[in-house]
A and B are shown apart, each in its own frame.
Chain A
Amino acid sequence: MIDTLALLTSILTITLRAGASLIYGAIGETYTERSGILNLGVEGMMLMGAVTAFATAYYSGSVWLGLLVAMGVGATLAALHAFLTVTMRANQVVSGLSITLFGTGLASFLGERLGPASNNFNLVGMVGPRFSPIEIPGLSEIPVLGAFFKQDLLTYALFLLVPLAWAYLYKTRNGLNLRAVGESPQTADAMGIDVIRTRYRYTIVGGMLVGLGGAHLSLAYAPGWSENITGGRGWIVIALVIFAMWNPARAVLGAVLFGGINAVQFRLQAGGATTIPSAYLNMLPYLVTIAVLIAMTWWEALSHRIGAPAALGTPYTREDK
């Protein structure tokens, strides 16, 4: 009994930690897509966030500076996406994919160049400062729920960020305007909302959060840098946003689901209690994501719910004749 509780607590702890970067990414991408901009560059931006966060923290000794740089890098790449798709009216899918390709390549290149000379300039294998889990005395000893109180600072921050992100979107003037821009830019424009500025603003804010998600990977979840540290999490984020129906609060559910399966398969492998080849276990989170996505989309279609922002993916200009 005690053991089961301990196991559950430990699985939930890992679940939350594994889900944190996804939640940051999903909130960011939700905001971006709510403005009508689809950013498929998440994977590349996350990787760039992870590598720059770690490198900065490694040399400066400050995780906070690392965090800041990762957010800046995410914002810069997002601003590039916004320039291409909002101002130049480029195809959003193509632009996003380019940013992922560019970010993935550059992150991997930087990982092999930014390291110390002693390690042949490679960052892989270096140990730097990190956000360590902080156990809150008393609360962290509660069985199972105690998992919520043995997290790192970035995960704790989500306890605040998620409700705020939700309330901002649904309860404030800015959230109303943002949703209008994504649903009907013509209407928003006619109502005096600056569509261009709104799209830039939330694409960049989204990029900052995605960069932050990347930083969580290299500074907290799996401290250090390794090639492809995201393991495709950028893509999972995009799936999560759909799964969450563009609602930041619902994104948590998806992230916990993904993180949970990750934690369980991790446990299974670590415990050696299974004969299932590890390749299949590694696959599990992704397979479940696909299955859930299909089921969700199906269900939404059956119940005639309106999901995606109506103007998602379409550029806007006023004087279209």
Chain B
Amino acid sequence: MTARITQPTVSPPVLQMRSITKRFPGVLANDRVDLDLYAGEVLALLGENGAGKSTLMNILAGLYRPDAGEILIQGRPAEIHAPRDAAAFGIGMVHQNFMLVPTMTVAQNIVLGIADLAFVPDLGAIETRIRELSDRYGLKVDPRAYIWQLGVGEQQRVEILKLIYRGADIVILDEPTAVLTPQEAQDLGRILAVMQAEGKSIVFITHKMAEVIAFSDRVCVLRQGRVVATKRTADTNPRELARLMVGREVLFRLDKRPAQPGDPVLTLEAVHANNDKGLPALRDVSLQARQGEILGIAGVAGNGQQELAEVVTGLRPIKRGKLLINQRDLTHCTSLEAIHAGVSHIPADRVGMGSVGDMPVADNIVMKAYRMPPLARQGVLNRRRILDFARALIDVFQIATPTPQTHVKFLSGGNIQKTILAREIDACTDLLVAVYPSRGLDVGATEAVRRRLLEQRDEGRAVLLVSEDLDELRTVADRIAVLYEGRVMGVVNAEEADVETLGLMMAGASDPVIGDAAADPGTEGGRTQ
């Protein structure tokens, strides 16, 4: 992947952000940020989660008001109080969680909120116009389809079409590839190129170095709310960008000893299960995870990963098939029975499901162990012992909390995750189910989480790791199963898995190259990214 060559920029910037400052309670999200954007360029906004990228762009899109600073558009000061103002200045944003009304059609979503829309909109004419634009930009989508019928990739195309339809000249994309397969991401690259050729300026937010190099002309790196560097992409490299982003030299290495798998811990035999809407989410899933190995689950979000984790942890009923933990039939077990069988669960939603924000760290930590003596006797809790227990784990897991009594909601995402890890790993005797465990964490916390997973593996437990980060799966897991529409498309050994192959499988091609990798999944040492 090579960087595009930038035209020398002679014209003044179309957009200038000057000394933008934005505070949230307890956080300085943007600290005197300066940013320039030129006509027809693709600018990458690079930074870790929490670096302030989305906040900065939300200010530009009119969703947040800056506490200080000014915005100049075509050299003139622009007051952006609301999204409507941003739209009037030709600024449009594709948000990370899409801004679409699921119960409305593509066409209705596209014209939603347009100020000079006719009182009785002529949907026929609108659909024709949408078709024209979608042909011109290669954004294939049916204007009459309802949003809930569309896949994530299609929804993203609707979002981009929406901006083009409204005549946006400055298009902001917030982590656009997070929900895409590698192939869909390449398509997005082509779409960006067409938009650029049409004279539009694009800002895209990312924390992936490869995308910066592949898509952008210039890159602006944010760290802890500040701009640490702005560079032409051609003049930099991933290593330098990573250092700028994290603030120290980053080693993409993880010490990983070869796996020594033992007896099967988790066995799924032809499992079928439904999702919350009562539609099939898992179809004929057969998988096995053994002692001392990490089984990775890859797939585009929403292809049954969530349901798989819930089935294994007793949270979702199995329609057909069998679930065995250590050869014991737990097909129709409750979540408590799963806990007693030694299954631990790090859920994807760490705030909603993994922790209770309004309860102290200590209480969150003992939420599984509280049933046992000495923490409780005859149902009466022993506060002193609970605090001692919590303090010990806070120490071991290096949870940065002022006191064990601090409410979890006041901790950072990384420390909330460490609190959950502490509870679940402490309780784990056989199987650890981790769903997107490093999502949204900074590099340090991510590293800590991954080390803990490997540690569990090396201590002889089975780990089921659901992740959307292929690099993470290839580094941490021993074998990778790919889910597509609830089916297992194949299982590959992690060290043989290349992104291309995994991507094809994630898009529904059944295992194109490698046969079923039930063979001994021993791996060589560390792997570099």
Contact = CB atoms under 8 A, between A and B. Distances in A.
Nearest to B64: A319
Contact of A180 (B27, B61, B82, B112): B112
B99 A191 contact: yes
Given A179-B103, A180-B104, A304-B278, 14 more contacts: A173-B119, A176-B104, A180-B113, A183-B103, A183-B104, A184-B99, A184-B100, A184-B101, A188-B112, A190-B95, A192-B83, A192-B87, A304-B277, A310-B103
A193 interface: yes
B117 A190 contact: no
Interface of A: 171-174, 176-177, 179-180, 183-184, 186-194, 304, 306, 310, 318-319, 321
A318 B63 contact: yes
B101 A183 contact: yes
A191 B103 contact: no
A121 B499 CA distance: 85
Given A172-B120, A193-B113, A180 B93 contact: no
B121 A176 contact: yes
A191 B102 CA distance: 15
B108 A176 contact: yes
Contact of A186 (B61, B99, B111): B99
Contact of A179 (B27, B61, B101, B148): B101
Most chain B beta carbons < 10 A, residue from A186, A190, A192:
A190
Contacts of B24: 319, 321
Contact of B61 (A183, A190, A319): A190
A319 B61 CA distance: 13
11 contacts: A173-B120, A176-B121, A184-B100, A187-B100, A188-B113, A189-B83, A190-B83, A190-B99, A191-B99, A192-B114, A321-B25
Nearest to B63: A318
Contacts of A191: 83, 99, 112-114
A81 to B, nearest CB: 25
Contact of B99 (A173, A174, A187): A187
B83 A172 contact: no
A194 B84 CA distance: 9
Contact of A187 (B101, B111, B114, B121): B101
Contacts of A184: 99-102
A314 to B, nearest CB: 15
Nearest to A306: B103
Contacts of B115: 192
Nearest to A191: B113
A318 B64 contact: yes
Nearest to A174: B119
Contacts of B148: 306
Interface of B: 24-25, 27, 61, 63-64, 82-84, 87, 93, 95, 99-104, 108-109, 111-115, 117-121, 148, 277-278
A174 B117 CA distance: 10
Contacts of A321: 24-25, 27
A38 to B, nearest CB: 18
Contacts of A186: 99
Contact of A190 (B27, B63, B108, B119): B63
B405 to A, nearest CB: 23
A171 B63 contact: no
Most chain A beta carbons < 10 A, residue from B25, B63, B83:
B83
A176 B103 contact: no
A174 B119 CA distance: 7
A243 B262 CA distance: 58
A319 B112 CA distance: 22
A173 B103 contact: no
B93 A190 contact: yes
A183 B109 CA distance: 12
Contacts of A177: 112-113
| Top 3 closest pairs, chain A to chain B, by CB | A191-B113, A192-B84, A187-B99
Most chain B beta carbons < 10 A, residue from A174, A187, A318:
A187
Contacts of A171: 120
Contacts of A174: 119
A155 B488 CA distance: 61
A179 B111 CA distance: 13
Contacts of A173: 117-121
A109 to B, nearest CB: 41
Contacts of B101: 179-180, 183-184, 187-188
Contact of B112 (A172, A193, A304, A306): A193
Nearest to A167: B120
A305 to B, nearest CB: 10
Contacts of B277: 304
Nearest to B110: A191
Contacts of B103: 179, 183, 306, 310
B102 A183 contact: yes
Contacts of A193: 112-113
A216 to B, nearest CB: 29
Contacts of A194: 82, 84
Nearest to B123: A171
A186 B115 CA distance: 17
A54 B112 CA distance: 42
A191 B95 CA distance: 12
Given A180-B101, A183-B104, A184-B101, A192 B120 contact: no
A176 B99 contact: no
Nearest to A177: B113
A179 B63 contact: no
A177 B121 CA distance: 12
B114 to A, nearest CB: 8
Contacts of A304: 277-278
A179 B113 CA distance: 11
Nearest to B87: A192
Most chain A beta carbons < 10 A, residue from B64, B99, B109, B113:
B113
B63 A189 contact: yes
A192 B102 contact: no
Contacts of B64: 318-319
A177 B102 CA distance: 14
A196 to B, nearest CB: 11
